Amino acid sequence: MGRGTKQKTERSATFSRWRQPNERLLLAGLRSCAWLVALAVVLIFLFLLYFSLPALRPESLKTLLNWHWRPYGGEFGILPMVVGSLLLAVSALALAYPLGIALCLFIHGLGPRILRRPLRLILHLMTGVPTVVYGFIAAFLLVPMLRQAFHGSGFSWLAASLTLSLLILPTIVLMLNSQFEPLRARLETSFVALGYSPEQALLQGILPLARQGLLAAAVLGFGRAIGDTLISLMLAGNAPLVPEAPLDSLRTLTAHIALVLATDAQSSTYQSLFVCGTILFGVSLLVNLSLRRLTRSILAPESPT
């Protein structure tokens, strides 16, 4: 044992001797990388703002904040798309979130032990499936089913939100899981000592303690849902209208940008896209900032009370 310790100290001594002159360089390199990334984000924002300026003058703003997208008639209303993005993200979250919590509880002890590992594996695999695969499968399976079951074309809010909920489900479960695991490791013995059954510990102990994780999972799921382009582009039908029923077609901001991007770059149609981009940027900034705030307070060591 003595020899082992000696070796260890020697090794760490050489390691730090080798490291010290380089460490500052390494640190400087990492720091400049961080600044570069931060600068890129700021520049993107300034770029978006600069290009949306022509569309932000009062008279053109009036045509933008309008409920009709008729570019040939001089109306560039993006409000249906803003509402469409929010509706789709919220509905997908409403579908995926309860299911996500249930799945996480299932993995952490409510379900039969034999299913936990395969379930976790499947969820991990799901994060790696490209979005376009979900969109493609849904376009060929889900959309015809909806068309036959109800009327209409099948390309609808419902089709997109079902598929999108599947896409954000693993994000939600894995975020929750990352909160549940340390909590359980820390508190399991306490709960046993208190005489809780495993189910009681999970539902009445861990779940309430993970409330910030619950919130963070919702925010992350929402961010993922509102940023997605392909699912809505392929499945939502893209009619620039506010849907009145789940089977109506809708268009999200992201799909709108994808559809209109190839238009004549000198037109006001094109310029209106930068406003859409700025709105999306703002939303994702908001999502990220609130997520940061939430996860920071989670990671801070809680005082044992």
Partner 1 sequence: MTRRFNCALFCAMLLVLSLTFSAWGTGLDAFSSLTGKIDIAGGTAHIPVMKEAAKQIMKANPAIRITVAGGGSGVGVQKVGEGLVDIGNTGRSLSPEEIEKYGLQSFPFAIDGVAAIVHPSNPVTGLSSEQIQAIFAGTITNWQELGGPDQPINLYTRDEASGTREVFWKKLLQKGSIAERANVVASNGAMKVAISQDPAAIGYMSIGHLDEIVKGIEVDGAAPTQDNAINGSYKIVRKLYMNTKGEPSPLVKAFIDYICGPEGTPLISAAGYIPLQ
Residues that bind partner 1 (CB under 8 A): 68-72, 139-140, 143-144, 147, 151-155, 233, 237-241, 248-249, 251, 258-266, 269-270
Shortest spacing between CB 232 and partner 1, in angstroms: 11
259 vs 279, which CB is nearer to partner 1?
259
Phi, psi (degrees; rounded to nearest 5) at 69: -100, 95
69: enclosing H helix or E strand: strand 69-70
97 vs 155, which CB is nearer to partner 1?
155
285: enclosing H helix or E strand: helix 268-299
35 vs 67, which CB is nearer to partner 1?
67
Contacts of 80 (CB under 8 A, 6+ apart): 67, 68, 69, 240, 241, 242, 250, 251
Shortest spacing between CB 236 and partner 1, in angstroms: 9
Q: Residue 110, class by beta-carbon neighbours within 10 Å (0-12 exposed, 13-18 middle, 19+ buried)? A: middle
177 vs 232, which CB is nearer to partner 1?
232
Shortest spacing between CB 113 and partner 1, in angstroms: 39
Shortest spacing between CB 266 and partner 1, in angstroms: 5
Shortest spacing between CB 191 and partner 1, in angstroms: 53
Question: Residue 185 carries which side chain, given as an amino acid letter?
Answer: A
108 vs 251, which CB is nearer to partner 1?
251
Contact call for residues 155 and 249 (beta carbons, < 8 A): yes
Dihedral of the alpha carbons of 112, 118, 124, 127, in degrees to the nearest 10: -100
The rounded distance, in Å, linking the Cα atoms of 192 and 213 is 23
Contact call for residues 217 and 176 (beta carbons, < 8 A): yes
Shortest spacing between CB 71 and partner 1, in angstroms: 5
Shortest spacing between CB 263 and partner 1, in angstroms: 4
148 vs 189, which CB is nearer to partner 1?
148
Q: How many CA atoms lie within 13 A of 205 on its CB side?
A: 24
Looking up tokens 């801070």, which residue turns up?
300
270 vs 281, which CB is nearer to partner 1?
270
Dihedral of the alpha carbons of 25, 27, 33, 37, in degrees to the nearest 10: -160
